Chain A
Amino acid sequence: MQIFDLATADLDFIAEVEARSHQNVKNCYQCGNCTAGCPYNFAYDYSVSQIMRLIQTGQKEAVLKSRSLWLCGSCQSCTTRCPNNIDVATIMDVCRHMAREQGYATERNVKLFSDAFLHSVEKHGRAYELGLMTEYMTRSGRVFTDVDLAPTVLMRGKLPFKPHPIQGREQVTRIFERFRKGGINE
């Protein structure tokens, strides 16, 4: 059993998670329903109800360093089944935002994939699957990712070789630029 010294509770952290998620983490009574339904639990370091407990006790480091945040599939099972109507999936999301902002990335390849996806959108206005795979493979050093699928996918014409540029792609680029300037926390 892990014992928390409440003197180490980071109260600002608790307040920030609550403000950014619009949820009241005190409502969690640790029934474990969220964990019971979480399909990713086998891969987590802390189960989702443990993450809730860590937030309640202000254990910022443990939460932001956890791999679970990056492995959550946003499947909404926890949110749907929480008897206290806590939007747990949004809390996981918000903690991941904070982990990102503060430079934690305990599942590096998950982060790299998200980054590659968003770069593609920023550049082309739409996700260009072949391009984002190339960026992901270059940055992760995993050049053999999915090469076994190449014949199947190419034969079936599932991956266009060129992006579909849209007229409004600069508008999309500007969304990202304004976002980076804006310092928006939500």
Chain B
Amino acid sequence: MNKIAYYPGCSGQGTSEEYDRSSRAICKALGIDLVDIPDWSCCGSTPAHTVNHVLSAALSARNLALVEGMGLDTVTTPCPSCLTNLRTAAHKMENPEFRAKVNALLDVPCTKTIEAQSVLQILTENVDMTLIKSRVVKPLTGIKIACYYGCIMNRPPELMRFDHHENPMAMDNIMTALGAEVVPYPLKVECCGASFGIARGDIVARLSGKLLDAGRRLGADAFVTACPLCQMNLDMRQGQINDALHENFKIPVFYYTQLLGYALGLDRADLGFEKLCVDPRLALGRIKQPAQAS
């Protein structure tokens, strides 16, 4: 496959380092050739677009211009928030007037339309599921999983153009292919409380608490997510949620890339299970060992 520019996003160097690491590892294992964008900068995340749309687009466009400079036309990122910003910027800059306003803020103008896709989309659309199945060495048999996509991976559909905006299936299909039992999770695209964890923890406790509760009622042993913010709210803040709601949730929350890497038998060091806050062994222990060890 052609080379794809890779944008890790700021959280990939901090709170979601294990997502970055495992995303790289599975892409490598499945033959997707990622090339790091040299000297990438922050896309501005949610704060930028709540201040001004041209500023927000310019922070993304500096990176799109770098991709253009690499001679590539597609960029991929694991983070849905970065993805939204990169896609929105690229889309809005199809309007020459808007592009001119953005370029006026940049040292190096962005002149091409660069396509931004999530790593999940790249995987889904470029890797044959039968290939994934054939590479599974540790099937996830015995574990029950709730797939949680978060609010903006697929919305709004006109912009994101990937999977279904009310009932996405990309992660469900991957997990099923790996041998896990996927529960019919109804809150796939509900919001977890986004970046309000710090300023309004009460809101995150309520919204993420609802997500955990629904997973528990369905008997899920674990969640898989594709978003650093969702993962952080559900996993790192699970203790705070328990305190606020007088609950006792203890549900591990994985990045889908970690479980995919696990099933493919990738090096544990690349999967970063030790970074998770709720002990992942609670769920990994459910996985049945193959009857005959080879």
A110–B105 touching, CB < 8 Å: no
Shortest beta-carbon distance from B118 to chain A in Å: 15
Q: Which of B35-43, B178-186, B217-225, B260-268 contacts A (4 or more CB under 8 A)?
A: B35-43
Q: Which of B8-16, B22-30, B122-130, B246-254 contacts A (4 or more CB under 8 A)?
A: B8-16
A156–B274 touching, CB < 8 Å: yes
Q: Given A80-B156, A171-B62 in contact, is the A159-B14 Cβ separation under 8 Å?
A: yes
Any B CB within 8 A of the CB of A103: no
Assembled-state Cα–Cα distance A169/B42 (Å): 10
Count chain B CB atoms within 10 A of each CB in A40, A73, A115, A159 and give the residue with the most: A73
Q: Which residue of A lies closest to B58 (CB)?
A: A175
Any A CB within 8 A of the CB of B17: yes
Q: Which residue of A lies closest to B65 (CB)?
A: A171
Any B CB within 8 A of the CB of A31: no
CB contacts (< 8 Å) of A39 on chain B: these are 190-191, 207
B155–A79 touching, CB < 8 Å: yes
Count of inter-chain pairs, beta carbons less than 8 A = 178
B191–A40 touching, CB < 8 Å: yes
CB contacts (< 8 Å) of B112 on chain A: these are none
Assembled-state Cα–Cα distance A168/B152 (Å): 29
CB contacts (< 8 Å) of A172 on chain B: these are 41-42, 59, 62
A179–B105 touching, CB < 8 Å: yes
Q: Given A168-B62, A171-B107, A182-B105 in contact, is the A73-B199 Cβ separation under 8 Å?
A: no
Query: Chain A interface residue count: which class?
Result: 35 or more
**C-beta contact mask, B142-166 vs A, less than 8 Å → 1, else 0?**
0000000001100111000000010
Assembled-state Cα–Cα distance A43/B13 (Å): 32
Q: Which of B49-57, B133-141, B169-177, B282-290 contacts A (4 or more CB under 8 A)?
A: B49-57
Any B CB within 8 A of the CB of A186: yes
Q: Which of A40, A77, A175 contacts B106 (CB 8 A)?
A: A175
8 residue pairs, one from A and one from B, having the closest CB atoms? A75-B151, A114-B47, A75-B191, A76-B155, A109-B199, A127-B10, A73-B194, A117-B47
Q: Which residues of B contact A (CB under 8 A)?
A: 10-11, 13-15, 17, 39-42, 44-55, 58-59, 62, 98, 101, 104-108, 151-152, 155-157, 165, 189-191, 193-200, 203, 206-207, 236-237, 239-240, 274-277
Q: Can you list 16 A-B contacts (CB < 8 A)?
A: A43-B203, A93-B53, A100-B50, A100-B51, A107-B200, A109-B198, A121-B59, A136-B198, A148-B240, A156-B276, A158-B17, A158-B275, A171-B62, A171-B108, A179-B52, A186-B54
